[in-house]
Amino acid sequence: MKRIIAPSFLASNFLKLAEEVAMVNKSEAEWLHLDIMDGRFVPNISFGLPVVEQIASATDKFCDVHLMIVEPEKYLADFKKAGADQISVHIEACPHLHRVLEQIHDLGMKAGIAVNPHTPIDFLRDIIQHADVVNLMSVNPGFGGQKFIEHTYIKIKELREVIDQKGLNTLIQIDGGVIQGNARTLFDTGANVLVAGSSVFKAPDPEKAIADLLGA
């Protein structure tokens, strides 16, 4: 089964952003994960389009943009222009989720559904076939460095069953609290993509940390 590490730039050193991107470019990570927070959907503000544009211009790797914002449909074209290859929007923020996923696809990007820890997997059954990835939040969105929520393992199993029952190729992404100590279990449980922030960028050797997570 496909295994991908997606370093989360929320945990990177913004004074050395070019160096951080260069490190990921040299590493075994296939994706770069970019968290956009608006201070409304989540209680924090991260960075926006100019930073995404600069990061995307410095890499040939897959740019995975996670919009933790209200009314994401207003900004999809702008993030495409900035260099996003994939955009994930929150099911909790989109009353017309199907329409938003179609907008993302129409712009030529992959489309993802992000799901907060309290949201049941059952809510995805009638929409998952329109998504390329489901981002299961394994912490409450809004802040980096949080502790992994153990109930996520149950949600991964439930989601894998739904995907397999429908014969889909939808990827399962895990976002939050990913460390060397749980990476293998997450992959073995059915995850495909692990978003790793502090465990990569705060590591003594970030490039090795990525390799270790991938090979867990």
- Residue 148 has which token pair? 């992994």
What share of the chain has pLDDT > 70, as a percent?
A: 98
Cα–chain center distance at 123: 19
Q: Is-contact 28 211, C-beta < 8 A?
A: yes
Q: Is 35 annotated as a binding residue?
A: yes
**What distances in angstroms separate CA 188 from CA 18, 39, 160, 184, one per listed residue?**
34, 35, 11, 6
pLDDT tens digits for range 185-209? 999 999 999 999 999 999 999 999 9
Query: Which residues pair with residue 175 across a beta bridge?
Result: 137, 195
Q: CA nearest 62: which of 17, 29, 100?
A: 29
pLDDT score at 151: 96
Q: How far apart are CA 178 and CA 65, in angstroms?
A: 18
Longest dimension (CA), the chain: 46
Domain region containing 80: 4-214
Task: Determine which one of 78, 175, 188, 212 is catalytic.
Answer: 175
Residue 122 a catalytic site member? no
Q: Which is catalytic among the residues 35, 38, 64, 132?
A: 35
Q: Cβ atoms within 10 A of the Cβ of 166, count?
A: 11
Question: In this structure, is the dihedral angle defined by the CA atoms of residues 194, 168, 71 and 78, taken in order, positive or negative?
Answer: positive
**Mean pLDDT of the region 169-179:** 97
Q: Binding residue per annotation — 176?
A: yes
Task: Write the DSSP assignment of 169-193 as a string of letters.
Answer: --EEEEESS--HHHHHHHHHHT--E
Answer yes or no: are the C-beta atoms of 131 and 112 closer than 8 Å: yes
167 is in an annotated binding site: no
CA distance 162 to 203: 35
Q: Report pLDDT digits (tens) over 95-144.
A: 999 999 999 999 999 999 999 999 999 999 999 999 999 999 999 987 76
Q: At what angle do helices 152-166 and 180-189 cross, to 10 degrees?
A: 30
- pLDDT given at position 145: 67
pLDDT, position 1: 81
**Strand pairing partners for 198?**
none
pLDDT band of residue 153 (cuts 50, 70, 90) is very high
Report whether 143 belongs to an annotated binding site. yes
pLDDT score, position 109 = 98
pLDDT for position 41: 96
Q: Are 100 and 73 in contact (CB under 8 A)?
A: yes
Confirm or deny that 138 is annotated as ligand binding: no
Annotated ligand binding at 190? The verdict is no
How many angstroms separate the CA atoms of 103 and 111, rounded?
9
pLDDT, residue 141, reads 85
How many domains does the chain divide into?
1
Distance, in Å, from the CA atom of 165 to the CA atom of 3, rounded to the nearest integer, reads 21
Catalytic residue flag (residue 85):
no
pLDDT over 90, % of the chain:
95
What CATH number has the domain bearing residue 171? 3.20.20.70
* Distance between CA atoms of residues 54 and 43, nearest Å: 25
